[in-house]
Structure 1
Amino acid sequence: MNFLVTAVGSLASDIIIKVLRENFHKSRIFGTDIYPKEWLWESSLVDQFFQVPLASDSSYINTLLQICSENQVNFIIPLIDPEVDSLSDSRQPFNYQNITLCIASKEMIKTCRNKLNLYNAFINDTVVSVIPTYLEPEPASKNHGFPLICKPLKGRSSEGVIKISDALMGSILPEHLNHTIFQPFISGDIFTVDAVRDRYGNCTCITRKELIRNKIGAGITVKVLKHSELEETTSYIAAKIDALGAFNVEFIFDGNKYYVMDINPRFSAGIEYTVLSGYDIVKNNLLAFMNEKIEPRGSLKEQIYLKHYHTHFH
């Protein structure tokens, strides 16, 4: 079997490609990105690299279909939200070619990728706490005061997030921003739960506390730990939205309660922490899409993990 990994310049691609190599020795691995091969070190890890249009471009889907057809690709593993969105809306031609898209159901993606949909899905839930979400700043400030957080309805990687400190700033923003939501600002510790679920209802979760988090929302220094409450909550969420494959849930703890910040229907940027801690979420994601049972979590290396960067020349 052959694999196509998209957005190989993204943070998760390195470990995904390495794990695919370790588990599927005879397979070929292809990679795509919007940037040229010479600009991406990860392009050297794949058997063949292709520069592709943006996921929003009308030619994106046909470009992937052509790559898959010419290289006998069996599985596509998208790594970033815009590509998940685009592929979710264009499943049929891939099904015709017997290509498995390693993405969740259209219903789950629709719920998770829209912050208002996510809020409405759990607003009355007795297990899951979601952050109150509004389409206008006035009701948000009336119910919660300031500061508020303004963010895109379908944002990614903390892009476009604005902290609103007072009513004057809040009154100006709607004139310049479209498709945004408003939430009360919550300060606290952030936890990410990497999870994978199969078609049989088995769900495996690995939790990490983010000690240093960069401006795009990626954990640079984290502590992997067992956290029964968050893992039980994540498994409950997975069952409620009928998750399939890998996804991740971001929580914020305000000292009293764990709130769901986001549910991302894809690999997290920090899945290497999960792999290093002892659980091969990359392999188990594929098992889920092969209609096999995923593996339970074994012993976990509960410790602090650090990310650092190397400089290469091409």
Structure 2
Amino acid sequence: MSRVNENPSLCVLVTAIGSFSADRVIRELHDAGIRVIGCDIYPRQWIANSSLVDVFYHVALAHSKEYEIQLREIIQEEHVDYIFPLTDIEVDVLNGLRGTLESVVCISGADTIRVCRDKWKTFQILVPKFEKYLIPTRLLSNIKIDGLEYPVICKPINGRSSSGLFIAHNVRDFQYYRSTITDGDRYCVQPKIEGTVVTVDIVRSEWNDECVAIPRREFLRTPNGAGVSVEIFQNDILCELAKNIASELNINGCVNFEFIETPSHEYRFLECNPRFSGGISFSCIAGYNFVMNHLKCFLHESIDSQPRTRDMFIVKKYNEYVMD
């Protein structure tokens, strides 16, 4: 544990502060005069953002019992008001713990999280109203090889950061990959759609249905799917589509949607990540404070209105820090 300063008002615990979104989240909270506690599975000396938070804790893996014990101790010791989980696995764990913690977990409702963390459930919920914007999706267990058009993408229904995803370019690929999977109900299959990944950062207030969306094209991405070279652009139709999907899923707070933009500029919805995107800083630079408006959703305050952003290219770079 390391302490930087004591600045009581609201206190927010930010998890996984070594993740891509953490720097912007911490800085925006601090700029608002909020005390920030940070934790991560790696030690302080390995995490540059540990020098930004008021207090840092080294914690166990999120799915362990030790993590839950540590989390409760941190909440009590630091008088944490709100928790911002930054990774999917922590969203899953905290979704199960909400209501048993003294702090408010700042994520969408329990049912919404369960749907968004299951690609098959998401497809089933959205297909009645948004079928033309969805990629046709089937469970692997229901697939017949005869007549399947390649290439296809197979991925876990609860996967994250492209983990477990594979592309079958022909029947031999598909047969091999399918032979390695024991539960076909846990994998979904989709045609591979060529195009550019578009991420839409979106914040929606559940209690009054206010909603803001900012899209970006992602040209260079890390192997885990985080954009590092992007273009902020205006598209009212896409923003309206994202807002309607957010309403259908009953999103509360800030999440990100991923789409594929085809060469003919049609959009196909990929998934909802029910947390800050790794590139949330891009949207903040573009002119909207998603971090503080996320918090407003849980304070039951009106969020700021949709800004008129300008088109721009933004790139991310890495810096070096001496920690000790």
Structural mapping, 1:1-314, within 5 Å = 1-23=10-32, 25=33, 27-94=34-101, 97=102, 99-126=103-130, 129-136=133-140, 139=143, 142=146, 144-177=148-181, 178=183, 179-198=186-205, 199-256=207-264, 257-314=266-323
CA RMSD of aligned residues (A): 1.6
Which residue identity does 1:150 align to in structure 2? Answer: C
The CA distance in 2 between the partners of 1:236 and 1:6, in whole Å, is 29
Gaps of 5+ in 2: 1-9
Structure 2 vs 1, CA of residues 224 and 165 (structure 1 numbering), >3 Å: closer, same or farther? same
Between the aligned residues of both structures, percent identity stands at: 34
Alpha-carbon distance, 1:160 to partner: 1.9
Residues 143-191 of structure 1, C-alpha deviations (whole Å, 9 max, x = no match): 6501111112211111222111111221122332343222111110111
The CA distance in 2 between the partners of 1:211 and 1:266, in whole Å, is 21
**TM-score relative to the length of structure 2:** 0.91
Which stretch of structure 1 is more off in the superposition, 54-63 or 44-53? 54-63
Equivalent residues of 1:133, 1:140 under 8 A apart: no
The CA distance in 2 between the partners of 1:110 and 1:62, in whole Å, is 23
Which stretch of structure 1 is more off in the superposition, 73-82 or 255-264? 255-264
Equivalent residues of 2:126, 2:248 under 8 A apart: no
The CA distance in 1 between the partners of 2:143 and 2:287, in whole Å, is 45
Structure 2 vs 1, CA of residues 182 and 37 (structure 1 numbering), >3 Å: closer, same or farther? same
The CA distance in 2 between the partners of 1:37 and 1:64, in whole Å, is 17
User: What secondary structure, in the 3-state scheme, does the structure 2 residue paired with 1:226 have?
Assistant: coil
User: What secondary structure, in the 3-state scheme, does the structure 1 residue paired with 2:65 have?
Assistant: coil
Which residue identity does 2:134 align to in structure 1? Answer: V
**TM-score relative to the length of structure 1:** 0.94
Equivalent residues of 1:150, 1:181 under 8 A apart: yes
Alpha-carbon distance, 1:128 to partner: 5.7
Q: How many residue pairs end up in the alignment?
A: 309
Equivalent residues of 1:194, 1:268 under 8 A apart: yes
Which residue identity does 2:41 align to in structure 1? Answer: I
User: What secondary structure, in the 3-state scheme, does the structure 2 residue paired with 1:29 have?
Assistant: strand
The CA distance in 2 between the partners of 1:113 and 1:143, in whole Å, is 30
Structure 2 vs 1, CA of residues 120 and 127 (structure 1 numbering), >3 Å: closer, same or farther? closer
Structure 2 vs 1, CA of residues 128 and 61 (structure 1 numbering), >3 Å: closer, same or farther? farther
Alpha-carbon distance, 1:17 to partner: 0.4
User: What secondary structure, in the 3-state scheme, does the structure 1 residue paired with 2:256 have?
Assistant: strand
The CA distance in 2 between the partners of 1:143 and 1:235, in whole Å, is 36
Alpha-carbon distance, 1:71 to partner: 0.7
